[in-house]
Structures are given as structure tokens and as C-alpha cells.
A and B are shown apart, each in its own frame.
Chain A
Amino acid sequence: MISLFRRSLTARTVFATVFLSALALVTLGGFLSYSLANAFYQSRLSQVLFETERAVSSVQNTVAAASLTDETALQTLINSVVPSLEITDGAATRQVALLRSPGQPQLQLFQSPISIDLDLATIPEELREEVRQSQSVLSYTSVAIFRDGVSIPGITVGAPLTIPLAGDFELYLVFDLSPEQQSLELVQNALAIAGIIMIGMIAAVSYAVTRSLVRPVEEAAEAAQSLSAGMLDRRLPEKGEDSIAQLAKSFNKMAGSLQQQIQQLDQLSRMQRRFVSDVSHELRTPLTTIKLAGEVIFGNREKLDPALSRSAELMQNQIERFEKLLADLLEISRYDAGAVTPELETQDLNAVVGAAIASIEPLAKSKSTEIRIALPPGAVEAEIDGKRIERLLRNLLSNAVEHGEGKPITVRVGQNDQAVAVCVSDEGVGMSRSQLERVFDRFWRADPARQRSVGGTGLGLAISKEDATLHRGWLQVWSKPDAGTSFRLTLPRHRDSVIANSPIALPPEGVEK
């Protein structure tokens, strides 16, 4: 529910509209029903007071007109007059009570007449007090009448009455307001039903209006999403002249220019990649001829005079270098074209590391560099493209030999649940921070002034990085000037596992930080 709210603008808007209009309707209904109740009460009250006044004066007149001689005659008179004030049939009943004020000498026989079903609780003591004090004026209060267990609103009106021979009395009339109550309830019910219908209509209208506004926005959001997902021909329908249509138009314009630019860039980079690949291929045929010719000359160099013989040697070496460069260039152009798929097979990383070290051993010997190995016991199995990983490691090792200044090189292998790792560390010249940032750039060399003995192509680390990325792995570097450089390769153990952390720290333990 909460997530629906957070997600849906429509739900939020409809809820807010319904909530606020319900609040307004309840306030309005409350006010209406209160004013109506008040009006009903007031009009009934004035009628009640009028009737009471008439009743009181009729009793008074009757008592005054009669010539009373004894208590019995009085009793008879009162018994005939007071009950006649009662109304028992119909909806609006009227009950009556004639009560003797307290604090007078006791009469022997006189009985105060009271309507049979009158509940004396409807004549509160406060009212009686007020009546006694008011002398000739009417006093009233609203009361609750209980009839058949149901509370009905009512008004009790009282007036003082002095009867000769008998003393001070109070006459009370209890009026039943149930007709007014019923009318009021009817009106209130009508109001409530009208309110509910109104809220339903408001909800429907606000939903429709919000939909009509939110829909285009949602469509735009969806279109923007698919645009960013690469579906560049996604557009919005442009209808009408309003601000929504304006939004659609601007969106389409943006998408159009975006698409155009991306396509242009795409074509440009495709052309460039194509060019690199074509050049590399075109160079191969003449290079083959040159290479074969060079070999023939080189193979016969003893027959040449020393200068020509040395020239043949130089040419031979440079042809090899040229060939390597061309091969690397072609390799990187294949990566750029996205035409490389790894041939993953479950292999023992220790064995791959061993093969790479064995092939670099002669170079290390020639630079009298010791290679130390720290392998975990047993096989370190991972799904890798063995050829590419071996090439990558050879490259890291030959870099380490070249920059290691004859100090020992350490190769560490590690593993955890998701990943395997190899770290190649030298203790040579190291690199500065600014050099580190460019170490994977193509054709970049740490120190152009330094003599090149190993003769890499300048593409080695760039290709290595691509190889690591191809395996969805990491190739990272740590270096400190005069302390050495460590390259750490971390690869996922399986093609679908994701590396969380590398099994080897960078820089590895034991390397001076």
C-alpha cells in the first residue's frame, strides 16, 4: 500500500483530493445539521412556550372562577382541569404534572395529579428551584425522555401556580420533540448520503483528471527510460497544443538530436575501428614478403661484409618487433570491435601461472632476476580462457622483469569462494601517482627516456586490461616510487559469479607500503 503510494502519483493525488473534500463535506454537513437542529428547536420552543402559557392561564382562570369551599371540591376541580392538558395520542405527546412546592403545611387529602407515564426525572430539581423563584414567568429546560429504552429529546416547561386553600404549586408540561428529531434525522441521513455520493464523484473526477495529466508524464518517463536503455527510435505522440504536447515535442526533439549524434559517433568509431583492422590486414601481406626476404638475407649473413651483416641483424630484429606490434594492434582492434569472446574452460590457475613463469624464465635469467612463487596447495580451479590469461600473465611478468632492476619478483596466487587472483610484484623503480593513472593507456610508457630492452609494443597492458574485462574480472595496480609495483588480477571463479573482494590484498602482505 505504502509502496503503491510512493510509486503512483495518481493514487497520491486521488487520495489527497478525496481526503480534503471529505473533510470539507463533513464540516459543511456538521454546520448544516447543527443550524437545522437549532432552527427546529427554536420554532418548537416558541410553540411550546405559547401552549404552556395558555395552559397555565386556563388553569388559573378556572381555579379563580370556581368558588372553592373545601379540599374535596378543589381536588375535583384540579383533577378535571389538569389531566385535560395532557395530549397522549399522535406523535408529539405532552405530559403534565402539578407539583406542590415544598415548605408548606401538609394538606390532608389533596393529591397532585401527574400523568401516568411521566418520568419524574424529566423534571430536574434545578428547574423546580428556578420555577419557584421566577414567580409568574415560565421557565424551561431541555431534557431526555426515556421511552421503551430509547432516549428522546424533550422540553420541560414549568410555571408557579397559587391555588386558594391549597397554597403554592408548580405546573409542569413535558413536551416530546420526537417529530422534530425524526425530521432532523431524515435531513441528516439525506445529507450523509449526498456526501458519500459526492465523495465518490469527487474521487472519480479527480482520478480521471489526474490520469489525463499523469499519463503523458508517465509515458514520457517510460520513453526516457527506453531511450537510455538504447532504444534510440522511441518517440512520444504529439497531440494538441497544450503544455503536455509541448513536453512531447521537446522530448522528441531531444531524442532526435541524441540519436543523430550517437549514430554519428557510432559510425565514426566504427569507421575508425574498421580502418585499424583493415590497415593491419593490408600490412600483413607486404610484411610477409619482407619477413621472408629478411630471413633469407639474415640466413646468409656470413657471406656479407660486417656492415651489411649487422644491417641484416638489425632488420631482422625490427621486422620481429613490427610483427608483434601489428599483432597487438589487430588484437586491440578486435576488442574495440567487440569481436572477442573468451573460450572459458575450468582450469587450474596454478598450472597457467606455472606455464607463464616457465616461458618468461629465460628472460628473467638473462636479467639475473629471481622469480619467487607463493601458490596455495592443490588446484585453484576457475573458468578461464587459459590462452588469454597465460598471455596476460606473461605480459605482467615481462613488465616486472623489465622494471624490476634485477630485484626478486614475487608471484602470489589466492582464492576465495567467488574469485581467484594472481598478484605479480616487483621491487623496482615503481611509479608516481600521475604515471599510475596512465599505466593502462595505449602506447604509453612509464619513462620514454629509459632504454627499452624487452621491447614491448606499448599495447601489452591495454590488451591485458581488455582480457581481464572480458572475463568480467579486475586488473589493478599498486605502485610506489622506489618501492616497486604490484599488478593484481582477480577473476570470477565461475562465468556467472560476481567478485565481491579479491583474495589477495593490494599491495600484498609483506610488501613495504
Chain B
Amino acid sequence: MTQRILVVDDDDALREMVGLVLSGAGYEPLFASDGISAVSIFSESKPDLVLLDIMLPGQSGIEVCRQIRAHSGVPIIMLSAKSETEDVVLGLEAGADDYVVKPHNGVELIARVKARLRPMGDDSQRVSVAGLSLDPKTFEVRRGEQTLSLTPLEFKLLHTLAVKPNQVFSREMLLEQVWGYQYKADTRLVNVHVQRLRSKVEQDPENPKIVMTVRGHGYRAGTES
């Protein structure tokens, strides 16, 4: 079955061009030209991935991202004309899994899309960490009777750390193992996702017990206590 990708961009030419590149790689593109139609098209057609421009007329890409994230864990890749920290961080905080700065090339774009559409965590076992139990088959995280809802990427991040609780993961290692990047990517991706993850799973995100920071090195899972 061909995977469908929703391309949200207000620039007609770029939208069409991105569609051509995606078709060339074997995906089926869907299109939306503004933020409001993007949300409605998303809920009608349930695409497998969303390519979302940040600067959109009507409703910004960040707002669209937030609305989609409210009821779906589908991978979202932000497209930004600005590489300044605030824009990127805002997009990631709104729930995007990754971002690409314009002007990007087709190969890079397809690589990112592929990485996000790769199935996650099918071969792994149930693990538990600091009072949480993770089920890789259902992407479910439980604390006692309570179910926490994580996006697949957040789940993968937590799972990767939890499987080897004694290992410290550098940001670069996490980019490779969680995001599937072989090349140098922005380590801010990791920072923002760890923050987002903590806000969902930690009882006190200011004082984390599950995703611990190892200063100067990276992160590790909290030990059972």
C-alpha cells in the first residue's frame, strides 16, 4: 500500500514540486494550501505523515501542528525558511518530530520522510523503568492503571533509554538510534524531545526521575527506585 503524505504549503509551485519529488519516491502526496484546510483534510484522509510549512496564511503551522497532535501521533516534519533557534524550538515544542530548513534538497527530504515512516519497536520486548511499563507492540506506557499517551517517536526515545538503563546515550547516539540519522543533524531535536517527553511521563518535570541528564554527555534512564 502506498503511504500518503500531506503537504501543507502556501506556495503553489513549491507544493507541486514537493509533490513531484514525493511521487518520484513512491509516495502519494495530498495537498493543503492553508492552515485551516490542512486540519480538515488531515482528519478526512488520515495521511501517514505531514510535511508542514511554519509560515502559513490564516493559521500558523505551529497551531496546525498542535491541533493534529491533540488527537494523533502521526509523524510531522516542519518546513521552515528560518533556521533561527526560536522558530525551530517552537515547532518542535508544538509536537513536530523533525524539521527541515529551506532550501532543502530532494534526497534529504526523502531521507527524513523515510526515517519517520520506518516502523518502530516491533522486535523489542516489554520493559519497565522507574515505575513505568512500556509495551512496544501497542506503544502503550502505563504507570499502574494509568495509560500515558506518547507519540511513536517519544515512545521510541523512552524505550531506547529504558532498554539499557545503565548506558549513557549521547545526543548524537540518540539521533542515530531514535531518528535514524547517519549524518550530522541538529542536537536541539533531542533536547526539545526530551523536554516534551519529561512533561508527559515525569511526575515533576523540573526534577526528572525517569529521563536523567548526564551533564556534558547526554541522557540515561532513571534506575528503579
- Give the number of chain B interface residues (Cβ < 8 Å): 17
In the complex, chain B residues whose CB is within 8 Å of the CB of A365: none
**Contacts of B16-37 to chain A: CB distance below 8 A:** 17-18, 20-21, 24
**Contacts of A297-352 to chain B: CB distance below 8 A:** 323, 326, 334, 339
Interface stretch (choices B69-77, B98-106, B192-200):
B98-106
Query: Which A residue's beta carbon lies closest to that of B53?
Result: A285
Q: Is the beta-carbon distance between B106 and A288 smaller than 8 angstroms?
A: no
Q: Is the beta-carbon distance between B105 and A291 smaller than 8 angstroms?
A: yes
User: B82 an interface residue at 8 Å Cβ cutoff?
Assistant: yes
Once the chains are docked, how many angstroms separate the CA of A323 from the CA of B18? Answer: 18
Per-position 1/0 for A260-297, Cβ under 8 A of B: 00000000000000000000010011111101110110
List 8 additional contacts besides A284-B102, A295-B21, A326-B103; criterion CB under 8 Å. Answer: A285-B11, A285-B102, A287-B102, A289-B11, A291-B105, A293-B17, A296-B106, A334-B84
* Interface CB pairs A-B, < 8 A, 18: A284-B102, A285-B11, A285-B14, A285-B81, A288-B102, A288-B103, A288-B104, A289-B11, A289-B14, A291-B103, A291-B104, A292-B18, A292-B21, A293-B17, A295-B106, A296-B21, A296-B106, A334-B84
Once the chains are docked, how many angstroms separate the CA of A292 from the CA of B82? Answer: 18
In the complex, chain B residues whose CB is within 8 Å of the CB of A288: 14, 17, 102-104
In the complex, chain A residues whose CB is within 8 Å of the CB of B82: 281
Once the chains are docked, how many angstroms separate the CA of A86 from the CA of B41? Answer: 142
Q: In the complex, how many angstroms separate the beta carbon of B18 from the nearest chain A beta carbon?
A: 7
Once the chains are docked, how many angstroms separate the CA of A295 from the CA of B18? Answer: 12
**Contacts of B35-52 to chain A: CB distance below 8 A:** none
Per-position 1/0 for B77-89, Cβ under 8 A of A: 0000110100000
**Contacts of A10-52 to chain B: CB distance below 8 A:** none
Query: Which B residue's beta carbon lies closest to that of A319?
Result: B103
Q: In the complex, how many angstroms separate the beta carbon of B79 from the nearest chain A beta carbon?
A: 8
In the complex, chain A residues whose CB is within 8 Å of the CB of B106: 292, 295-296
Given contacts A296-B20, A323-B103, contact A289 B81 (CB under 8 A): no
Once the chains are docked, how many angstroms separate the CA of A345 from the CA of B14? Answer: 39
User: B13 an interface residue at 8 Å Cβ cutoff?
Assistant: yes
Once the chains are docked, how many angstroms separate the CA of A295 from the CA of B14? Answer: 14
Q: Is the beta-carbon distance between A292 and B105 smaller than 8 angstroms?
A: yes
In the complex, chain A residues whose CB is within 8 Å of the CB of B11: 285-286, 289
In the complex, chain A residues whose CB is within 8 Å of the CB of B102: 284-285, 287-288
Once the chains are docked, how many angstroms separate the CA of A444 from the CA of B79? Answer: 34
In the complex, chain B residues whose CB is within 8 Å of the CB of A339: 84
Q: Is the beta-carbon distance between A287 and B105 smaller than 8 angstroms?
A: no
Listed from nearest, the 4 A-B pairs whose CB atoms lie closest are A288-B103, A284-B81, A284-B102, A289-B14
Once the chains are docked, how many angstroms separate the CA of A287 from the CA of B104? Answer: 9
In the complex, chain A residues whose CB is within 8 Å of the CB of B107: 295
Centre residue among B18, B21, B106, B107 by max chain A CB count within 10 A:
B106
Centre residue among A284, A288, A296, A339 by max chain B CB count within 10 A:
A288
Query: Which B residue's beta carbon lies closest to that of A326?
Result: B103
Given contacts A285-B14, A289-B11, contact A295 B105 (CB under 8 A): yes
In the complex, chain A residues whose CB is within 8 Å of the CB of B104: 288, 291
Query: Which A residue's beta carbon lies closest to that of B101?
Result: A284
Query: Which A residue's beta carbon lies closest to that of B104?
Result: A288
Q: Is the beta-carbon distance between A292 and B17 smaller than 8 angstroms?
A: yes
Q: In the complex, how many angstroms separate the beta carbon of A178 from the nearest chain B beta carbon?
A: 97
Centre residue among B21, B24, B103, B107 by max chain A CB count within 10 A:
B103
Q: In the complex, how many angstroms separate the beta carbon of A210 from the nearest chain B beta carbon?
A: 57
Query: Which B residue's beta carbon lies closest to that of A291?
Result: B103
Once the chains are docked, how many angstroms separate the CA of A293 from the CA of B17? Answer: 7
Q: Is the beta-carbon distance between A289 and B13 smaller than 8 angstroms?
A: yes
Q: Is the beta-carbon distance between A296 and B14 smaller than 8 angstroms?
A: no
